[in-house]
């Protein structure tokens, strides 16, 4: 009888402990994303009472340039603080744009330890880190060294294993705690391969991809995905994304080399331990806006790819864009949910995309939850390239963003700049989504930064509601014949406006370089698309229907006074949801963290930040049951918000 009581007490205690602490142990809260917390202390009724309780500053940032000054990624570009912290064993862990890792007291923000990988900052572009991985060794006890490991990658393409208690390297991992991810990639510019998204973990394996800069060359490092033993750092398997039946590249010594220029996995990977599957959101194959040389090498480009976690073999893959020459790589974590259909529970995933389309798939088989149709798209690529006749479109949900820039419906603050946008929209090739890049110039709508981007969706598991933030921006692409690529941008651009907001990108190894504008802008620096420039949308995952869509943010901090009244702002980051029915999101170019009612979209509260919070917030309860909401506010070059290093925690007053 006493044994039974002890067992019952243990079950009750551990279940209460879980609900009290509710660790945030992966970037997306769970290994399949979702950003969903069971915490309920903060409610729609009291959220307006949140107060800032602590701020941590690392000092790891530099101001640099933003896209209103220079849209070309370079070593002087400002940092971007994109991290979502983890909470494990009553400690908060996060990484900075310089890849330093901090361990904090979650109640006070006080530092427990700091790990510095001493990355080389010079010559690097886009200094950032989105998060770290966490793993508990079931073969050790809590007092052992490296019982809890923090795994983190760097802009230098190195993978570190850190003792979660002390911040010291786990020397049994790789070479004294370090694995060199450059191994097997061949000689390359150090700035052309990096690891800044959090590593994924399944069982005793750590899974990592790598990022590649856009529109550089066809010979950039390959996009291999690798699985390492999480204790020893030994390579267990690799997936080189070459088409089935294609022979791998072998060097003169008979060693396997990872093929160059293949599709890469720069965003967040998901894992499902029950199905023993790893889910990859793949980018596009080099060079981004021209694919005449690929010869089928983009077979896995812009796809969701499911791998067997034990072997790395492909189980299924679904391609969201055929022969992607628009830089429409899959930008966000494949996000898990369950749905009941025909009396059966289906394990599913939601994939948001830069096109503003959401693909809902069976995560066991890759089959669509709702029909996906192949529809005709604009034709006529540049000489040497091609476009496919059709592209996949989900029947449900409806697109999250518009897909055609009507010249009669452009925007401007004055008749002068609106007139410029109207004429430009008429002069460019402008046939809607998937208008091919062209020599005369093409409108790219949505732009290559979204639609949706890496922040990904949140899914309220108790209500089966998906929340996603998107941008309503267009951009332009002009293909320049190689013979003219040594000319200055000002000589190649159509006008001074295009020159100001564009970059000349070389695409070495192809017949063309490109002039690419990240935003299709008026002479006053205002998007030519009609507001709102950013939205927040809720989708009922059971029916596939939109529940609501609202403008997200305002033009405050983006436009000068008195033009603060525009609703819907450019945004980069993601949402988090709670069981109490709240959606938290910053992300916008105005400096606020906002709280919304998940069921209705009503804005319930907003909290002023020192700069843009271009990260995904997280929330947790400490050992005393007090709930905190944490957001990284560090700006982002692409939306013009200045760099900083604020990690800010909010809670209800005691």
HSE-up of 499 (CA within 13 Å, CB side)?
A: 10
DSSP per position, 166-186: T--B-TTTTTTSEEETTTTS-
Sign of CA dihedral 42, 45, 49, 50: positive
Using an 8 Å Cβ cutoff, are 505 and 513 in contact?
Answer: yes
Residues paired with 33 in a beta bridge: none
What's the rounded Cα separation, in Å, for the pair 532 and 552?
8
Sign of CA dihedral 642, 647, 652, 654: negative
C-alpha of 342 from chain center:
33
HSE-up of 471 (CA within 13 Å, CB side)?
A: 30
Which pLDDT score is estimated for 265?
Answer: 97
Which pLDDT score is estimated for 256?
Answer: 62
Using an 8 Å Cβ cutoff, are 209 and 227 in contact?
Answer: no
Q: Which residues contact 228 (CB under 8 A, 6 or more apart)?
A: 159, 174, 179, 205, 206, 208, 234, 235, 236
What's the rounded Cα separation, in Å, for the pair 129 and 195?
8
Using an 8 Å Cβ cutoff, are 614 and 605 in contact?
Answer: no
Enter the tokens of residue 450: 């979204």
Sign of CA dihedral 104, 97, 132, 141: negative
Which pLDDT score is estimated for 65?
Answer: 61
C-alpha of 333 from chain center:
7
Radius of gyration of the chain (CA): 24
The full length of the chain comes to 654
Rounded to 5 degrees, φ, ψ at 3 are -60, -40
Q: Is 593 helix (H, G, I), strand (E, B) or coil?
A: strand
Using an 8 Å Cβ cutoff, are 428 and 440 in contact?
Answer: yes
Residue with tokens 């290093």: 645
What b/e readout covers 403-419, taking b as 16+ CB neighbours within 10 angstroms? bebebeebbbeeeebbe
Which pLDDT score is estimated for 623?
Answer: 85
Which pLDDT score is estimated for 113?
Answer: 98
Alpha carbon of 14 to those of 19, 20, 125, 134, 135: distances in Å? 9, 10, 45, 20, 19
What's the rounded Cα separation, in Å, for the pair 526 and 541?
35
Rounded to 5 degrees, φ, ψ at 93 are -125, 135
Residues annotated catalytic, as ranges: 327
What's the rounded Cα separation, in Å, for the pair 481 and 443?
19
Closest CA to 460 of 296, 350, 573: 350
Which pLDDT score is estimated for 544?
Answer: 98
Query: Could you say which residues of the chain have pLDDT below 50?
Result: 1-20, 67-75
Domains along the sequence of the chain with CATH: 21-651 (2.140.10.10)
Residues 491-534 pLDDT 10s: 998 888 888 888 999 999 999 999 998 889 999 888 999 999 99
Which pLDDT score is estimated for 174?
Answer: 97
Which pLDDT score is estimated for 63?
Answer: 86
pTM of the model: 0.94
Using an 8 Å Cβ cutoff, are 464 and 541 in contact?
Answer: yes
Q: Which residues contact 496 (CB under 8 A, 6 or more apart)?
A: 490
Closest CA to 271 of 224, 315, 309: 309
Enter the tokens of residue 156: 């230098």
Which pLDDT score is estimated for 434?
Answer: 98
What's the rounded Cα separation, in Å, for the pair 610 and 61?
14
Which pLDDT score is estimated for 410?
Answer: 96
Residues 462-491 pLDDT 10s: 999 999 999 999 999 999 999 999 999 989
């Amino acid at each position: 009888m006493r044994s039974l009581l002890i067992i019952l007490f243990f079950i009750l205690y551990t279940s209460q402990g879980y609900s009290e602490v509710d660790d945030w142990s992966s970037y997306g809260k769970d290994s399949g994303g979702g950003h969903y917390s069971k915490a309920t202390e903060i409610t729609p009724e009291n959220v307006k009472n949140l107060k800032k309780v602590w701020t941590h500053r690392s000092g790891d940032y530099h101001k640099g340039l933003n896209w209103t000054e220079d849209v070309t990624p370079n070593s002087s570009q400002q940092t971007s603080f994109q991290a979502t912290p983890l909470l494990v064993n009553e400690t908060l862990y996060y990484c900075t744009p310089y890849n330093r890792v901090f361990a904090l007291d979650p109640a006070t923000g006080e530092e427990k330890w700091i790990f510095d990988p001493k990355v080389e900052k010079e010559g690097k572009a886009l200094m950032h880190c989105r998060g770290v991985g966490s793993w508990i060794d079931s073969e050790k006890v809590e007092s052992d060294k490296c019982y809890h490991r923090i795994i983190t990658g760097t802009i230098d393409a190195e993978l570190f294993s850190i003792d979660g208690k002390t911040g010291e390297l786990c020397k049994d991992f790789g070479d004294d705690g370090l694995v060199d991810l450059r191994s097997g990639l061949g000689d390359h510019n150090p700035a052309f391969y990096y690891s800044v998204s959090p590593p994924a973990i399944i069982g005793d394996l750590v899974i990592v991809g790598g990022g590649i800069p856009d529109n550089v060359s066809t010979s950039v490092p390959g996009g291999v995905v690798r699985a390492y033993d999480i204790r020893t750092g030994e390579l267990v398997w690799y997936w080189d994304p070459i088409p089935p039946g294609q022979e791998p590249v072998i060097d003169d010594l008979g060693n396997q080399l990872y093929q160059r220029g293949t599709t890469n996995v720069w965003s967040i990977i998901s894992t499902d331990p029950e199905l023993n599957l790893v889910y990859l959101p793949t980018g596009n194959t080099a060079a981004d806006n021209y694919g005449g040389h690929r010869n089928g090498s983009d077979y896995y480009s812009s796809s969701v790819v499911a791998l067997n976690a034990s072997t790395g073999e492909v189980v299924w893959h679904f391609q969201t864009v055929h022969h992607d020459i628009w830089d429409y790589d899959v930008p966000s974590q494949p996000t898990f949910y369950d749905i009941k259909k025909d009396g059966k529970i289906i394990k599913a995933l939601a994939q948001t995309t830069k096109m503003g389309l959401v693909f809902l798939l069976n995560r066991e088989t890759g089959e669509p939850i709702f029909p996906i149709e192949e529809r005709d798209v604009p034709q006529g690529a540049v000489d040497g390239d091609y476009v496919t006749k059709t592209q996949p479109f989900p029947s449900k949900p409806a697109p999250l963003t518009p897909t055609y820039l009507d010249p009669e419906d452009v925007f401007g603050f004055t008749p002068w700049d609106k007139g410029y946008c109207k004429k430009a929209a008429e002069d460019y090739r402008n046939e809607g989504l998937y208008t091919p890049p062209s020599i005369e110039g093409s409108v790219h709508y949505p732009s290559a930064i979204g639609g949706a981007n890496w922040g990904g969706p949140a899914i309220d598991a108790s209500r089966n509601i998906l929340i996603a933030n998107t941008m309503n921006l267009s951009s332009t692409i002009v293909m320049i014949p190689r013979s003219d690529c040594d000319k200055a941008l000002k000589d190649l651009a159509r006008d001074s406006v295009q020159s100001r907001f564009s970059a000349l990108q070389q695409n070495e190894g192809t017949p063309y370089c490109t002039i690419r504008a990240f935003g299709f802008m008026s002479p006053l620096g205002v998007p030519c698309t009609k507001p709102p420039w950013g939205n927040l949308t809720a989708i009922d995952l059971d029916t596939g229907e939109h529940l609501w869509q609202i403008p997200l943010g305002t033009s405050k901090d983006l436009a000068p006074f008195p033009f603060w009244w525009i609703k819907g702002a450019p945004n980069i980051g993601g949402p988090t949801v709670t069981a109490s029915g709240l959606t938290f999101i910053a992300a916008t170019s105005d400096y606020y963290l906002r709280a919304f009612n998940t069921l209705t979209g009503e804005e319930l509260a907003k909290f002023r930040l020192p700069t843009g919070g271009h990260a995904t917030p997280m929330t947790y309860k400490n050992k005393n049951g007090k709930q905190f909401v944490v957001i990284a506010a560090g700006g982002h070059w692409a939306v013009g918000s200045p760099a900083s290093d604020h990690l800010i925690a909010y809670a209800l007053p005691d």
